[in-house]
Structure 1
Amino acid sequence: MAGRFIIRDPFALHREGVIKSRGFAMWRDNIRVARYVSESLKPCLGPSGMSKLVVDKFSETAVTSHGAVILDKMDMHHPVAKLLREAAKTVDKSVGDGTKTAIILIGELLGKAETLSAQKLEVNKIIRGYTLAYGIAMKHLKKCGKPIDNLESKTVKTLLTNLFTSRGLGEAEYLAEIAARAIFAALKDRGNKKAVDKDAIKIVKKVGGTLRDSRVVDGVIINKGVAHPAMPRIMDDVKIAVLNMALKIDEFRHLQPFKYHLEITNPNLIDQFLGEEVEIVKKVVDKIVSVGANMIICRKRIGDVAKQLLAEKGIMGVSRLLNEEEFNSVAKITGGRIVADVEDLREEDLGRASSAREEKIGDSTVIIVEGCNNAGGATILLRGVSESVLGEAEHTINDSIKYVSAFLENSTYLPGGGAIETYLASTIRNESIRYGGKEQEAMLAFADCLETIPKLIADNAGYDPIDVLTALRSRHAEGHHQYGIEPFSGKIVDMFKTNVVEPYSVKEQILKTSFETAMALLRIDELVDRRYAKRHEGELGGQ
């Protein structure tokens, strides 16, 4: 009945269907969810780690060892699992690597907290001890690093080779080389520092061949063929007009790019009308020719009349490049300026390239525009046997761009192979002696959590983690803090000499994310889940 509504029980705090839990049982369940997620990623850690085959709710399949991708595809339902997924995304977006390490550390910190709580250590004492240990770790993190004054291609290639190897991709060294070339092509001066212009690097995937067939184009690849069969398919000394308009007389007056008004009162004037249309388009083509353009990239449609006239003038044309990102990348990499009205087109608006050609790659016809060195930017053409392989390679290359960008913010690198985690663990143990309260137990637990990383690297590589960790501790006790695990031989070696290094920014972000997420979860004392709250018909605010 209209106007009728139901008033809920005034003594009921929540709606029917709201799930509440609190106390130690809820706290323990949250920890166990986090540990389950952490355990699922442990076999994937390190260059010898395994991959996961994940099928999402849309039946899309991914074979990957990337932590953020695995958690995203798993579509987990529990709120704690969702928090871990967001933590992994934060690390991935910030520095491009370290997602598995961060989630594993979160799981270990929470697991140790559960053990300490079972030993009658208060949660606040655990949090206090973790906070002290975290402060010590952040203080000493950079002491084991080496700064870089001049960024060299060799250094970037070394960093990226380690990144690609850790993802389990074939041809890791080759992919690192082409990624480094593309990144150096997109480097820009920003004050006293250099930065990577991420928009100046484009990735094009084509199924077929192998990863070894991938290459860098010092220009742009357009996923279109030429607009007309009579247009040239190969061209040198290319001058490119980038037009965000249509080259045709549109049937709908409000879409017309050319402001002409034609009125036909006599059927005999039809031929004259068609002639006028040709003249209008001819003036536009003449304008394009007059500024020296011999190639046009058109965001909208090129009409049949315009296509024919452009072909007669020897101009290569691309019609309906609707993808905004692809259209903008053409302008950025070639150095052209996007023009919305052909009357505004000038010679200085044209992009430049040494050559352009139409080519068949796999089942697709593309136009490759090369030799855009002056503008800055590059395109990586990825080849692979399947979409899954290409997707993993693309994701890793995107991560490598963020990885190098983070490195440029703080040009210091640290030893890899579990060396930095072992160094921080030993430092925390040494300094914990100065704290006499119960917090010392939590600080020692924090140190144990850090040593989980070298143990997993050894275990996943097939070596005894206890033997490896004992040898690693012995080296660090002698003051050799740059020593870590060489996973392919199982030996304890100098990570700087073997070029197994990681950017300082990555380790810093891992520690920050894992500590802050673990602390947030430890402080939760009640869970209120309103996803299944019921609304009754006629209830105020209901349906």
Structure 2
Amino acid sequence: MAQMGNQPLIVLSEESQRTSGEDAQSMNITAGKAVAESVRTTLGPKGMDKMLVDSTGNVVVTNDGVTILKEMDIEHPAANMIVEVAETQENEVGDGTTTAVIVSGELLKEAENLLDQDIHATTLAQGYREAAEEAKDLLEEQAIEISTEDTEHLEQIAATAMTGKGAETAKDTLSSLVVSAVQSVADETGIDTDNVKVEKVVGGSIDNSELVEGVIVDKTRVDENMPYAVEDANVALVDSGLEVEETEIDTEVNVTDPDQLEEFLEREEAQLRELVDALVAVDTDVVFVDGGIDDMAQHFLAQEGILAVRRVKSDDMTRLARATGATPVSSVRDITSEDLGQAGSIAQRDVGGDERIFIEDVEEAKSVTMILRGGTEHVVDEVERAIEDSMHVVRVTLEDGKVVPGGGSPETQLALELRDFADSVGGREALAIEHFADALEVVPRTLAENAGHDPIDSLVDLRSQHDSGSTGAGLDAYTGDVVDMEGEGVVEPLRVKTQAIESATEAAVMILRIDDVIAAGDLKGGAVDGDDDDDMPAGGPGGAGGMGGGMGGMGGMGGMGGAM
């Protein structure tokens, strides 16, 4: 609304709602803190799990930060910015999502104190950015270089990523599988963890999980008369089907007597026979087909002793090509012996009550399959999430070759050095940098809280050790002691920490710079369960200028119940 003479000039529509100034900042900060609070108790090896129940009754039990935030029905736009922090962290490095979110929430909390002291939001933003840049430089200096051939260190990194998740009970076994899998799919173009296929099997214990140096296709052979297993197999991959070719235009065939019908069927049979003969001519033992296989073609293939699998997914075809070295052909008529791949063993086997095709004993398994087992579906799903995180951190470590200690060690050291850095900067930005340092200490403090230890005592011990030069000292969540994290084998990829600080800072700065929120229509009220500090009232902070519930709609997961 603007003033024109003595008459008000209405700019926004009647449905639009607006919150500005301190009310807008307070509302957005509260929403951001609420999101961080909702995942805070999941951090660390003794973090708690959340039970998420959607509107259809599907249940997810997890302590994976990004999974929790994705499953929650969050509508508040500022809160969604914090969710994006977790998603960015997941996409870039695959782990550290909870750390990134709670650091972002703590940066907002510290900023709120400074805003109350009349420090301008742009000054805060500048100080936070300077602190983040300095923090990343300091982390680079603290980083420990490791060899990409150092399997022991890589397994420790994989195990650290699993700690506190459902896979922790078998982390020694699983971390070894993860490292072997990631090393297998590495090539000159890089490391694509999509080439590690994960098959989940309900039944048995997590310790029974295994790595297959090859591919498992969730299909069966198309004809019972085909062999169950083939040794030293020549493998063909066909991107089309083994069926009678259809004309490009609609046609109609008129048959006027039985002889014509018989001739027509014989020609179809001859076409199919020709397709099978093309495979036989190049000594094909096994054929995987993207499309369908005609019944008559199945019969001919079985006669020739060729194992055939139809309607194979495109991603499985890609994995088969990498594993066997076969070149997919668009038409089986064009196949040559150079297009064939090799596998030492291809067999149909039972896995958890389902028959699947195993392709193993390949020369260089550039595509592998991990079979994950667990007592229930929920357990297997959580193990899969832990495995995904572990694979990503091993990939990042192999790419960068740098790690930092865990257990809140880097955050404590950064806080110490950033306070010194603030003294050299001076001015009001120095206040923002000091509060940035305080915000980073939320990580060791939360680790202590979630493990049942006194957070103040733990933080005092950590600061004391770092002051005396023990830069690798971190909190052992199991005993509450401050120990050398590298010596204990608790390390994380450098990129996990740098990305978490970068994403958290960007989100916090963006939220702090918003002083006006204009909504095109009515938005739901309410706040996220679990915001212990200051839940938003129904009308938003301080009335929030009639924002229709303060734009606080962040409910929806009715089953979150007391899990938050």
Shift of 1:150: 4.0
The one-character-per-residue Cα deviations of 1:426-472 (angstroms, maximum 9, x if unpaired) are 00112222344233322221111111111111111111111111111
What amino acid maps onto 1:152 in structure 2?
Answer: D
Q: Structure 2 vs 1, CA of residues 507 and 189 (structure 1 numbering), >3 Å: closer, same or farther? A: same
1:365 aligns with 2:355: yes
Q: Deviations over 1:366-412 (max 9, x none)?
A: 11111123252211112223332222222332333332332233211
**Superposition map of 1:422-441 within 5 A:** 422-441=412-431
CA distance in 2, matches of 1:126, 1:383: 49
Task: Supply the distance in 1 between the matched residues of 2:27 and 2:254 (Cα, whole angstroms).
Answer: 77
Letter matched to residue 232 of structure 2: D
Confirm or deny: 8 A CA contact 1:196 1:401 kept in the other structure. no
Q: Which moved more, 1:212-221 or 1:395-404?
A: 395-404
Mapped partners of 1:329, 1:481: distance in 2: 44
Separation in 2, partners of 1:215, 1:255: 50
Task: Give the structure 2 partner of residue 253 of structure 1.
Answer: 247
**After superposition, where does 1:38-57 map in structure 2 within 5 Å?**
38-57=36-55
Q: TM-score if structure 1 supplies the norm length? A: 0.90
State whether structure 2 residue 306 is matched by structure 1 residue 315: yes
| 1:345 pairs with one of 335, 340, 353 | 335
Once the two structures are superposed, the pairs formed by residues 105-254 of structure 1 within 5 Å of their partners are 105-169=103-167, 170-190=169-189, 195-249=190-244, 253-254=247-248
Higher mean C-alpha deviation, range 309-318 or range 201-210: 201-210
1:94–1:406 Cα contact (<8 Å) kept: no
Is 2:399 the counterpart of 1:409?
Answer: yes
Whichever residue aligns with residue 253 of structure 1, its letter is T
Question: 1:5-20, aligned counterparts within 5 Å?
Answer: 11-20=9-18
Q: Deviations over 1:72-99 (max 9, x none)?
A: 0002010011111111100000000111
Q: Distance in 2 between matches of 1:34 and 1:203?
A: 34
- Runs of 5+ in structure 1 lacking a partner? 1-9, 534-543
What's the offset of the Cα at 1:363? 3.1
The answer (yes or no) to whether the contact 2:158–2:179 under 8 Å persists in 1 is yes
State the shift of 1:209 in Å: 2.0
Is the deviation greater in 148-157 or in 485-494? 148-157
Q: Give SS of 2:220's match.
A: coil
Percent identity, please.
33
8 Å contact kept, 1:153–1:184 = no
Deviations 1:323-366 (A, max 9, x none): 32223222222221111111211112112111011112223211
Change in CA separation of 1:353 and 1:481 when aligned onto 2, cut-off 3 Å = same
Question: Is the 2:148–2:397 contact (alpha carbons within 8 Å) kept by the matching residues of 1?
Answer: no
2:94 to 73, 89, 96: 96
Out of 396-405 and 453-462, give the one that drifted further. 396-405
Determine which of 494, 504, 511 is the counterpart of 2:501: 511
Is 1:421 matched with 2:411? yes
Letter in 1 for 2:16: V
Instruction: Determine the C-alpha separation between the residues in 1 that align with 2:314 and 2:338.
Output: 22
Q: In 2, are the aligned partners of 1:145 and 1:413 still within 8 Å (CA)?
A: yes
Tell me by how many angstroms 1:58 deviates: 4.4
Deviations 1:151-176 (A, max 9, x none): 32222211100001143423122221
* TM-fit CA distance, 1:280: 2.1
Post-superposition shift, 1:265? 5.4
Secondary structure class of the residue paired with 1:481: coil
Structure 2 unaligned residues grouped into runs of 5+: 1-7, 524-564
Q: What code does the residue aligned with 1:180 have?
A: V
Equivalent of 2:73, from 46, 51, 75? 75
Alpha-carbon contact 1:48-1:168 (below 8 Å) kept? no
Write the distance in 2 (CA, Å) between the matches of 1:386 and 1:150. 35
Q: Alignment partner of 1:434: what SS? A: helix
Match of residue 540 from structure 1: none
Alignment-derived partner of residue 515 in structure 2: 525
Contact 1:199-1:329 within 8 A present in 2 as well? no
SS in 1 for 2:23: helix
AA of the residue aligned to 2:200 = K
Which residue does 2:279 correspond to in 1? Answer: 288
Q: In structure 2, what residue type is equivalent to 1:202?
A: K
Q: 2:297 aligns with which of 306, 320, 326?
A: 306
The Cα shift of 1:103 comes to: 0.7
Code of the residue aligned with 1:173 in structure 2: it is D
1:486 matched residue in structure 2: 476
Question: 1:55, 1:134 → 2: CA distance?
Answer: 37
State how 1:253-272 maps to structure 2 within 5 Å: 253-254=247-248, 266-272=257-263
Report the Cα distance in structure 2 between the residues aligned to 1:69 and 1:78, rounded to whole angstroms: 18
Alignment partners' CA distance in 2, 1:373 and 1:25: 65
Q: Is the 8 A contact 1:110 1:522 kept in 2?
A: yes
Taking structure 1 as reference, are residues 446 and 266 closer, same or farther at Cα in structure 2, changes over 3 Å only? Answer: same
Whole-angstrom CA distance in 1 between matches of 2:253 and 2:238: 25
Partner of 2:379: 389
CA–CA separation in structure 1 for the residues paired with 2:504 and 2:249: 54
Higher mean alpha-carbon deviation, 166-175 vs 62-71, is at 166-175
- Secondary structure at 1:438 match in 2: helix
1:513 and 1:489 map into 2 onto residues whose CA distance is 32
- Secondary structure of 1:528's match? strand
Cα distance in structure 2, aligned partners of 1:245 and 1:440: 65
Q: Is the contact made by 2:214 and 2:365 (CA closer than 8 Å) also made in structure 1? A: no
> For residues 344 and 135 of structure 2, what CA distance do their matches in structure 1 show?
52
* 1:201 positional shift: 1.6
CA contact (8 A) 1:134 1:515 kept: yes
Contact 1:47 1:168 in 2 (8 A): no
- Distance in 2 (CA, whole Å) between partners of 1:298 and 1:431 is 63
